[in-house]
């Protein structure tokens, strides 16, 4: 007589349904972090958000890749309305500290629990493909949660936070639950999220009029170095552009996932370039004190295509000729610490210009305009905002 053994492992439909939920949850983490990156006030939190956003993006890519291989995988299938509403609620947090408390303390923690259970219950052979992904993804989520637990909680809106927690509890099976209908749930103190039009900082970081390039070049080595790393710190303006591109593209929908991936990487790079500034300024015995957001404010409301072209074919192309000589100057001076950062920055920028060409070409595929036409439209826009004709795309620093 045949004996039945206890079922272990996940069949294809269950695996596909779970992976689609992981995709949706982590895609929403990416979207929420891109929008709130602009308004979380401490720059150190912004740096962490930059790293975490890119991790979520990579995880979504891994889950999607597996879904494409699965019979009936459908990586873009919609999730339950209740789960979608729960994830929207987190985006509509009343303030930054509450958003972080809900996104990390409730959503990412719950995702971590679900993935750990998946890992424990998977069959080592039949589910080997998912196990490989789980073993790579879980440690990164753990380190996100470690950061959250060590971060001072700030002023959290506890009524709203309990509302979000109750909503999740009503789903019966956490993020996997079919959930109760949205009209049974009323969460107090929600605030419909509007993508910010500025980048907010705490009062350590004011508006700074950065020294123009030619003037910096006249300074002695040490003074020039400090001014240059202030420019690195200011790359928050570029990270901010990318955050708006990611948020608006995910909000509008219909953009290829590969484009979101490239601009998530680009976003993370700009966050790191700003971090280079903060690290090096401290090493040189000073602190970052300001940002100049003029370029961001003048152009954040242009269409996505124009923001991409302005940043990558306009500004990044404008700054590019300085990159190689800078790395060489630091190398010749034996300042290998500064050279390390300048060299990485130069390499990243080459990639950014490539992303810009690739995606502006894609977005212009069914358009009668060329990239040069778009650049003309950007100059018109900047001329209107500034009240003086914009002859060429340039930066004041
Ligand atoms: Fe950069
Ligand atoms: Fe860049």
Q: How far is the CA of 267 from the centre of ligand 2 (A)?
A: 8
Work out the percent of the chain whose per-residue pLDDT is above 90: 89
Dist. CA 81–CA 256, nearest whole Å:
23
Dist. CA 40–CA 96, nearest whole Å:
5
pLDDT, residue 81, reads 87
Q: How far is the CA of 2 from the centre of ligand 1 (A)?
A: 65
- The residue written with tokens 């500025």 in the block is 198
Eight-state DSSP code of residue 370? -
Q: How far is the CA of 266 from the centre of ligand 2 (A)?
A: 7
Dist. CA 16–CA 66, nearest whole Å:
9
pLDDT, residue 182, reads 60
Dist. CA 340–CA 350, nearest whole Å:
16
Q: How far is the CA of 214 from the centre of ligand 2 (A)?
A: 21
Q: What is the pLDDT of residues 233-286, one digit of tens each?
A: 999 999 999 999 999 999 999 999 999 999 999 999 999 999 999 999 999 999
Give ion ligand 2 contacts, CB < 5 A: 316, 349, 352
Q: How far is the CA of 370 from the centre of ligand 1 (A)?
A: 25
Beta bridge partners of 291: 207
389 by DSSP, 3-state: which?
Answer: coil
Q: What's the mean pLDDT in 131-153?
A: 98
Pick the more confident residue, 4 or 226.
Answer: 226
Q: How far is the CA of 254 from the centre of ligand 1 (A)?
A: 27
Residue 2 has pLDDT above 80, yes or no: no
Q: What's the mean pLDDT in 174-200?
A: 84
Q: How far is the CA of 35 from the centre of ligand 1 (A)?
A: 20
Residue 48: CB atoms within 10 A of its CB come to 18
Q: What's the mean pLDDT in 296-323?
A: 96
Query: In the chain, what is the greatest distance between 2 CA atoms, to the nearest angstrom?
Result: 90
Beta bridge partners of 206: 290
**Beta carbons within 8 Å of 195's beta carbon, 6+ residues apart:** 35, 38, 244, 247, 248, 251
Least confident of 45-59, 62-76, 128-142: 62-76
Q: How far is the CA of 248 from the centre of ligand 1 (A)?
A: 21
Q: How far is the CA of 352 from the centre of ligand 2 (A)?
A: 5
pLDDT, residue 267, reads 98
Dist. CA 224–CA 290, nearest whole Å:
17
DSSP secondary structure, 44-107, as one string: HHHHHHHHHHHHHHHHHHHHHHHHHHSTT--TT----HHHHHHHHHHHT-SSHHHHHHHIIIII
Q: How far is the CA of 273 from the centre of ligand 1 (A)?
A: 5
157 by DSSP, 3-state: which?
Answer: coil
Residue 383 has pLDDT above 90, yes or no: yes
Alpha-helical (H) ranges within the chain are 12-37, 43-69, 81-91, 96-102, 109-121, 128-150, 158-169, 213-218, 221-233, 236-252, 257-283, 294-299, 304-309, 316-319, 323-332, 336-363, 371-386
Dist. CA 205–CA 41, nearest whole Å:
9
**Beta carbons within 8 Å of 137's beta carbon, 6+ residues apart:** 59, 62, 115
Closest ligand to 272 CA? Answer: 1
Closest ligand to 274 CA? Answer: 1
Q: What is the pLDDT of residues 314-337, one digit of tens each?
A: 999 999 999 999 999 999 999 999
Q: How far is the CA of 128 from the centre of ligand 2 (A)?
A: 38
Residue 174 has pLDDT above 90, yes or no: no
Domains of the chain: 12-184 (1.20.1260.10), 208-386 (1.20.1260.10)
């Amino acid at each position: 007589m045949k004996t039945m053994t206890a079922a272990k492992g996940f069949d294809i439909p269950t695996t596909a349904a779970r992976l689609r939920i992981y995709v949706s949850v982590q895609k929403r983490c990416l979207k929420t972090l891109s929008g709130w990156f602009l308004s979380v006030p401490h720059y150190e939190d912004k740096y962490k958000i930059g790293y975490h956003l890119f991790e979520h993006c990579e995880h979504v890519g891994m889950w999607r890749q597996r879904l494409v291989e699965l019979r009936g995988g459908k990586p873009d299938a919609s999730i339950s309305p209740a789960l979608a509403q729960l994830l929207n609620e987190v985006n509509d947090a009343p303030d930054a500290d509450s958003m972080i408390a809900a996104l990390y303390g409730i959503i990412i923690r719950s995702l971590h629990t679900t993935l750990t259970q998946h890992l424990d219950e998977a069959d080592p052979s039949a589910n080997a493909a998912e196990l490989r992904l789980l073993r790579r993804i879980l440690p990164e989520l753990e380190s996100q949660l470690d950061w959250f637990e060590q971060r001072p909680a700030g002023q959290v809106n506890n009524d709203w936070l309990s509302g979000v927690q109750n909503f999740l509890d009503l789903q019966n099976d956490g993020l996997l639950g079919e959930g109760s209908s949205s009209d049974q749930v009323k969460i107090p103190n929600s605030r419909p999220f509007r993508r910010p039009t500025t980048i907010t900082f705490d009062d350590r970081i004011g508006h700074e009029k950065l020294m123009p390039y030619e003037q910096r070049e006249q300074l002695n080595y040490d003074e020039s170095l400090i001014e240059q790393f202030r420019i690195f710190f200011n790359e928050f303006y570029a990270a901010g552009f990318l955050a708006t591109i990611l948020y608006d593209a995910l909000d509008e929908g219909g953009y290829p996932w590969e484009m979101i991936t490239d601009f998530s990487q680009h976003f993370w790079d700009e966050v790191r370039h700003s971090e280079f500034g903060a690290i090096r300024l401290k090493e040189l015995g000073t602190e970052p004190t300001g940002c100049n957001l003029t370029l961001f404010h003048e152009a954040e409301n242009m269409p996505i295509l124009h923001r991409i072209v302005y940043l990558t074919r306009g500004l990044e192309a404008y700054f590019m000729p300085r990159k190689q000589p800078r790395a060489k100057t630091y190398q010749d001076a034996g300042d290998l610490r500064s050279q390390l950062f300048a060299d990485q920055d130069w390499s990243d920028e080459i990639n950014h210009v490539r992303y810009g060409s690739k995606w502006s070409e894609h977005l212009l595929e069914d358009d009668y305009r060329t990239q040069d036409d778009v650049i003309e439209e950007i100059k018109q826009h900047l001329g209107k905002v500034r009240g003086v004709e914009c002859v060429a795309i340039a930066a004041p620093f």
